[in-house]
Structure 1
Amino acid sequence: MKFKDMPYKRVEMDEVRREYQQLMEEMKQAKSGEEQFEVHKKFYALSNHVSTQMTLAHIRFDVDLTDEFYAAEHEYYDKIEPEMQHLVQEYQKLLYNSPYRDYLEEKIGKVAFRNMELSMKAFDEKLIPLMQEENELKTKYNKLIATAKIEWEGEELNLSLMRPYLSHADRAVRRKAWEKYSAYFESVEEELDSIYDQLVKNRTEQARQMGYKNYVELGYYRMTRNSYGQEEVEKFRDQIKKYFVPFAEKLHDRRRQRLGLEKLSYIDEQVYFADGNPAPHMSPEEILKAGQQMYTEMSEETKEFFDFMMENELFDVLGRKTKRAGGYMTYLPDYNAPFIFANFNGTSGDLDVITHECGHAFQGYISGKDPIQEHRDITMETAEIHSMSMEFFADKWMELFFGDRAEDYRIMHGEDAAIFIPYGCMVDEFQHIVYENPEMTPQQRKEAWSRLEKVYKPHLDYEDNKYFGGGGFWQKQQHIFNYPFYYIDYVLAQTCAFMYKIKMSENREEAWESYLKLCRLSASKFYGEMLKEVGLEVPYEDGCIQKIVEKLDVLLDTTH
C-alpha cells in the first residue's frame, strides 16, 4: 500500500488498555507453553497495530511541523507513550516469569528475555510524569532546531537548507554561512542551555527514583546494552584515543594539503577538495532512479526491497521549510514497510539517504519477514552496521551519481567515515561526564566539551567564533538532547563497517554474504556472538582498533 493511502486512526488509550488486560488474563489462564505462545501471537498483532498508527502520526508530524492535526496527535503520544510502555512491560513480566519459560525461550530466544530484563530495569510506572516532561522538553528542542530561520541572500533558510553553503567551495561563502549558522545557535543559546539543563536533571531524577546512582546506568539499560557495559565502552574509547585519533589527524592534514591551506579552520571541517565536494547534480527523482538501478544490480534481495520502496512511495526526501531537520528510517509493521525520511539539500548528504538510510530499510525489510517479532528488536550498535556498511557496498556504483567525480566521492567518503570516529567517541565521553556530574552548570558543560575537543580533535581551530570557541558546538548535535548514549553505537558500527570495507578489498562476494547473514540474524543473537558468527571482530576487544588502523592506513592512502 502506498504511504499516502495508509489509514490513520488515533490509538485510544482506554481501548488499548482493555486489550492488554485481556491478553494478560489469557496469558495467566494458559495451561502450556504452546498456549502461551498463541497468546503471544495476539500480542504481536496488537503491538504491530499500535506501533503502525503511532509511527504514521510521527512521520506526518515530522513532514510538516505546522500541521495542526498531527501536531496535536504528536502531543497526545508524548503523553501516552510512557503509559503504553508500562502496559507492554506488565505483559512482558508475565512472559518473563512464565512457568513455561524454557519453551518460550526456545521459541523467541535468550536475547529477547535478556532485553525484557533490561526493560524492567529501565522503567517503572512511577516515572511516567517525568517521562512525559522529558518528551515535552525534547519536542521543544526539536521545534527550536527545525524552525530556525536564517536570512541568506534575500530568503529565509532553515538549518538543513544551509548545509550546501557550509561546505561551499568558495571559502568566503562558507565563512559567511558558518557565521550566520553559529549566530542562530548563539541567539537561542540560553534557551538551549535551559532545555538541556532540565533534561539532565529530569533524567537524573528518573535514575534516582529507580535506585541508581546517576543516569548512566539507567541510560545503558534504556539503550538495551545486553552484552557489554560501561567498562567495555571506556576500553573502546581508550583504543580510539591511542590509535585512531593520530590516524584521523593524519587524514585531516592530508585534507589541508589538498585544500592548499596553511592551517585548517572550523569552516573547513566539511570540505575535502579545493574545487568543492563532489555532489550529485541531479533532481531527487533522478537520485531515486539511479538508486533503483544500483540496488537492481547489487543483488536479487536489494532489487526486491528497493522496488517495494518505490512502488509504495516510502520516501519523503525533499527539504522543506516546515519539515523536521535530519533524516531517519522507521518501520510500519502492519505493512512490513520501511519508511525513509530525509531533507535533500543538493550535497553528497543526499546520496547518504540512498545508501545509509536504505541500509537500515533493507535490513528492516529482511527482518520483517521473520515471524518472531523480537528478532526485529535490534540494538543500535548492530542496526548502524547495516546502514554504514551499505555505504561501502554502494561505492562500486558511485559513477551513477557523481560521474567523473566518483573517485573523489569515494576518497571523501572513506576519510569522512574515519574522521567521524573520534568525534563520535567525544560525544559519548561528554555525555558520561554530564550525567556523572548532573549538577554542572551550562558553562561547566561547555568547558568540558572544549577540553574533549583538544583530546579528540587537536587540529580544530575556531578562530574568533565566540559561540563554537566557547564550547557550544555540541548543542547542534540532536542525539545529545534526544537519545542519550546512542552516539557510541554509530562509532562501534562504523568500526564494523570498516571491517566490511577491508573484507570487500579482499573478497567482495564473501563480504556480501557475511553482510546478508548479519541482516538475517537481526536480533536473534547477542552482539559479540553475532559478529563472530559472520566473521567480524568485536570492536572493544584488545587489538581490534590497532589492526583496523593499520589496514585503513593502506586502503585510504591517496598519496600513492
Structure 2
Amino acid sequence: MKKYLTTFLLLAFLATGIFTLYACQDGVTDGDNESGGGNNDDEAIIVPEYKDYLRGTVNFSDISYQRPDIDQIISDFDAVCSAIEENTETFEKQLEMIKALEDGYNELLTMRSYANILAYKDTSNAYWQAENEYISTNFPSFSKSVENMLVTAANSAHAERFEEEYFQNDLIATYKDGGKYTDEVVELMEAEAELESRYSSLSTANVTIAYKFKRDTVDNILAFYADSLGINSEEYKTVETDCLEIYESEVQKLSEELLVDLFKIRRDISDEFGHTSYAEFAYDVMDHEYSESDFENFLCDISRFLLPVYQKLSSYIFNQYDFSNRGQIEQNRLINGTADIMKNADAKLYEIYSYMLQHSLFDVSPSSSNRFDGAFTAYLDSYNAPFIFISTEGDVTDYTVLCHEFGHFADYYINYSASTSLDLSEVSSQALELLALTQFDGILSEQTVNNLTLYKIEQTLSCIIFQGFYAAFEHIAYDIPKENISIETLNDAVKTAATTVGLNSNVIDALGYVTIPHIFLYPFYVQSYCTSAALSLEIYFAELNDDGSGFEVYMELLDRGEDKLTFDEHLERVGLTSPLESDYLRVIADRIHYELMGSHYFKDYNGGENAA
C-alpha cells in the first residue's frame, strides 16, 4: 500500500484497465498467410524456462474470485481512523494498524480487476456483470473511507512520522486541509457508476429489439430463427442482417440517452468537488500536466500542420494501397512472433514478455458477439501482475495491438502500476507499436512489413487527428450549461469539434461520430492519445536515424524510478521535447512528409517510388 495510498484518489476515478481503441482495423498484408518464422498454423505457445521473478505472481488460472466484503473493508479503515484520533496506542502500533489495511485494500483492487476482465470476456454472463457492477457502485464509498483515513493521519499527532516512514512525503500537503469525498459526492459517483455499467452491458445478449412479431434480445431472436430456418440458409442470413441493423440503431439511441445523463451527473460531481468546470476536475483526475489553453493550441496545430499533410499523403500514398486484403494469422503464432520481436528489441522487454507467458497473464482471443471488442491492460495488485486482454481480428494488424498493450504491461511491470501522467503512460504503448516495426525480420515478409509500416504511420496520424476531434468534443460539450445539455446540443458540439481540428462539420455532425467507450467511461482520456502519438513518432524517427537509439530512449522513459518528476521533466531527462511546445506538430508533419514523399524506402510494388 505504500506505493498506492497517497495516489489513490486519482485511481478511484479510473477503471482498472487502460483501454485502447482497436475495435476497427484494416488489414494490411499481401493476402497470404504469414509463416511467422516458419512455424505451422497449429504451433504451441513457446513458454520460456521457469524463472522466479520475485513478485509473488501466480498463474492467472490459479487466481480464484472471492467477492470482496466492501462493508467490512470500510469498517476496518474506519477503525484505524478511530485509533489514530484517540491516540492511545503508540506510533508503532498505529503504523502497524495502517499497514494491516494493505491486504484488504489490494484484494479489493485485485478482485475489481478480475471481475472486470471476466465481465468483458463474456458480456452475456449475468454473474460477472453483476459482480462488476457490485464493486463499481460500491467503490466510491470505499474511496471515501480511504480518504478519511488519510485525512485523519495527516492531522494526527504523528503526521510527520507517518509521512516520513510510510507515505513518502505526500500525506500532509495533500490531506492536511481535509478531503473531498462528501456524502453527496459518493451518491453522485455511485449513480455515475451505475450509468457506466448500463453502457458496458449493451450487447446482443442484453439489448431487446422488436423483430416481426417477436420482442426479445438479439441473441434469443437469432437463436429462434437459426433453429427454424437453419443457420446456413439465405433466409437466416437476411434475418441476421436485419436484426443487427435494428440492434445497432437501438444501441445508438440508448447510448445517446446515457451520454446525456452522464454529462449532467459529471457536472454535478465536479461542482461538488469545488471545481470551476468539469474539464478542470478531469485534468486533475487524469493528471494532465498542462493547461487547457495549451491543449487548445495543440488542437489548432493539428488543423494547421498535420491535417494538410495527412490529406496529401492520403491522396498520393495511403489511398494507393489496398488495406482490405487481410492475411490471416493464428493466435499462437501471434504470441510467439511477438516474443521474437521483444527478443530482437531489448533484453529487458523480452524478460518481461517471458514473465507474461510464464504466468499466462493474457487473454488474446478472437472477437465474438459477446466479447468486448477491444483491448486493455489491467493490474492485479495482490500479485504485482499486469494482465492483457485483446479481442483479435485474425490478421497481422493484431501485432500492433499486442505490442501496444504489452507496452502498458511493461510499464506496469517496471513501475508497479504507480500513478503517472496518462500522456506519459500512453507513450509506453504507442511508441512500442512503432518501434516494433523495425524488428520483424524473419517474422513477416518484407512486403508485409512495408505494408504494415505504412498502415501504422497512417493510423498514428489518424489517431492524432481523430482523437483530437474526440477531445475537442469533450472540451466543448462539458462546457455546455447543465440545464442545456441534450442530444441536440451535444450534436452541435460534435460539429464545432470537427471544425476545431479542420474536419468537415457538414458530414461529421451527430453523436454517432463520438460514441466510443472512452467518451462514456474515461472522460478526458483520449487527448493523451494525441500527445503520446506525437511523442511516439519522435522516438520512432530516432530509431530510424540510428539503430537502437529509439529503443534506448524508450527504455529510459519507461523506467521512471523513484523521483517524482513532472511530465515535462521526464521528457527532458531523456532528451525529448514536450508535444505542447509551439511548432512541435509542424516539425512532426514535415518529417513524415519527407519520409513518405521524399525518401527512398517506401516503394510501390511495381518498382516505382511513391513521390509526388
Q: Settle same-fold status: TM greater than 0.5.
A: yes
1:442-500 deviation digits (Å, cap 9, x = unpaired): 123223313433453547996xxxxxx65233343111111111110111111111110
SS of the residue corresponding to residue 382 of structure 1 reads helix
Q: Is the 8 A contact 2:129 2:201 kept in 1?
A: no
Confirm whether residue 361 of structure 1 aligns to residue 409 of structure 2: yes
CA distance in 2, matches of 1:135, 1:119: 24
Q: Is the 8 A contact 1:280 1:351 kept in 2?
A: no
- Taking a change above 3 Å as real, the CA distance of residues 112 and 100 of structure 1, as seen in their structure-2 partners, is closer
Q: Aligned residue for 1:339?
A: 387
Q: Is the 8 A contact 2:163 2:169 kept in 1?
A: no
Confirm whether residue 428 of structure 1 aligns to residue 471 of structure 2: yes
What is the aligned counterpart of 2:571 among 506, 521, 531? 531
Q: Aligned residue for 2:236?
A: none
- Taking a change above 3 Å as real, the CA distance of residues 326 and 9 of structure 1, as seen in their structure-2 partners, is same
Q: Aligned residue for 1:248?
A: 310
What is the aligned counterpart of 2:338 among 283, 291, 306? 291
Give the count of matched residue pairs.
507
Q: Aligned residue for 1:197?
A: 260
Q: Is the 8 A contact 2:73 2:105 kept in 1?
A: no
Letter in 2 for 1:383: S
Moved more, 89-98 or 10-19: 89-98
Q: Aligned residue for 2:78?
A: 21
Q: Is the 8 A contact 2:60 2:361 kept in 1?
A: yes
Letter in 2 for 1:549: A
- Taking a change above 3 Å as real, the CA distance of residues 106 and 542 of structure 1, as seen in their structure-2 partners, is farther
CA distance in 2, matches of 1:550, 1:114: 44
Q: Aligned residue for 1:303?
A: 350
- Taking a change above 3 Å as real, the CA distance of residues 18 and 396 of structure 1, as seen in their structure-2 partners, is same
CA distance in 2, matches of 1:126, 1:400: 59
CA distance in 2, matches of 1:283, 1:507: 33
SS of the residue corresponding to residue 201 of structure 2 reads helix
- Taking a change above 3 Å as real, the CA distance of residues 211 and 299 of structure 1, as seen in their structure-2 partners, is closer
Matches within 5 A, 1:83-482: 83-94=141-152, 96=154, 100-101=159-160, 104=163, 120=179, 123-144=181-202, 184-225=247-288, 227-255=289-317, 257-258=319-320, 273-274=321-322, 276-277=323-324, 279=326, 281-318=328-365, 319-368=367-416, 376-399=418-441, 402-403=444-445, 404-437=447-480, 438=482, 439-456=484-501, 458=503, 470-482=509-521
Confirm whether residue 508 of structure 1 aligns to residue 547 of structure 2: yes
Aligned-residue offset at 1:118: 12
CA distance in 2, matches of 1:555, 1:498: 12
CA distance in 2, matches of 1:529, 1:118: 28
- Taking a change above 3 Å as real, the CA distance of residues 181 and 47 of structure 1, as seen in their structure-2 partners, is same
1:134-173 deviation digits (Å, cap 9, x = unpaired): 11111212222575799xxxxx99xxxxxxxxxxxxxxxx
Aligned-residue offset at 1:241: 2.3
Aligned-residue offset at 1:35: 8.3
Q: Is the 8 A contact 2:377 2:405 kept in 1?
A: yes
Q: Is the 8 A contact 1:96 1:116 kept in 2?
A: yes
Q: Is the 8 A contact 2:67 2:131 kept in 1?
A: yes
Q: Is the 8 A contact 1:204 1:215 kept in 2?
A: yes
CA distance in 1, matches of 2:129, 2:420: 29
Q: Is the 8 A contact 1:355 1:391 kept in 2?
A: yes
Q: Is the 8 A contact 1:316 1:340 kept in 2?
A: yes
Q: Is the 8 A contact 1:292 1:303 kept in 2?
A: yes
What is the aligned counterpart of 2:527 among 488, 491, 516? 488
Q: Aligned residue for 2:123?
A: 65
- Taking a change above 3 Å as real, the CA distance of residues 313 and 224 of structure 1, as seen in their structure-2 partners, is same
CA distance in 2, matches of 1:120, 1:525: 24
SS of the residue corresponding to residue 394 of structure 2 reads coil
Q: Aligned residue for 2:587?
A: 547
Letter in 1 for 2:198: K
1:164-210 deviation digits (Å, cap 9, x = unpaired): xxxxxxxxxxxxx9999887543433322211111111111222233
Relative to total residues, which structure has the larger helix share, 1 or 2?
1
Moved more, 64-73 or 8-17: 64-73
Consecutive unaligned residues in structure 2, runs of 5 or more: 1-57, 210-217, 220-239, 603-609
CA distance in 2, matches of 1:367, 1:36: 28
SS of the residue corresponding to residue 478 of structure 2 reads helix
Letter in 2 for 1:447: D
Letter in 2 for 1:18: S
Q: Aligned residue for 1:466?
A: none
Larger Rg: 2
Q: Is the 8 A contact 1:251 1:419 kept in 2?
A: no
- Taking a change above 3 Å as real, the CA distance of residues 329 and 279 of structure 1, as seen in their structure-2 partners, is farther
Letter in 2 for 1:456: V
Moved more, 324-333 or 247-256: 247-256
CA distance in 2, matches of 1:105, 1:178: 63
CA distance in 1, matches of 2:298, 2:88: 46
- Taking a change above 3 Å as real, the CA distance of residues 180 and 232 of structure 1, as seen in their structure-2 partners, is farther
CA distance in 1, matches of 2:519, 2:162: 40
Aligned-residue offset at 1:409: 0.5
Q: Is the 8 A contact 2:300 2:501 kept in 1?
A: no
CA distance in 1, matches of 2:488, 2:160: 51
Moved more, 191-200 or 339-348: 339-348
CA distance in 2, matches of 1:359, 1:530: 17
Letter in 2 for 1:450: K
SS of the residue corresponding to residue 122 of structure 2 reads coil
Moved more, 25-34 or 236-245: 25-34
CA distance in 2, matches of 1:316, 1:382: 25
Letter in 2 for 1:78: S
Give the aligned CA root-mean-square deviation in angstroms.
3.4
1:362-391 deviation digits (Å, cap 9, x = unpaired): 1111112xxxxxx71123111101000111
Consecutive unaligned residues in structure 1, runs of 5 or more: 151-155, 158-176, 259-272, 369-374, 463-468
Letter in 1 for 2:476: I
Moved more, 133-142 or 542-551: 542-551
Aligned-residue offset at 1:358: 0.4
Letter in 1 for 2:408: H
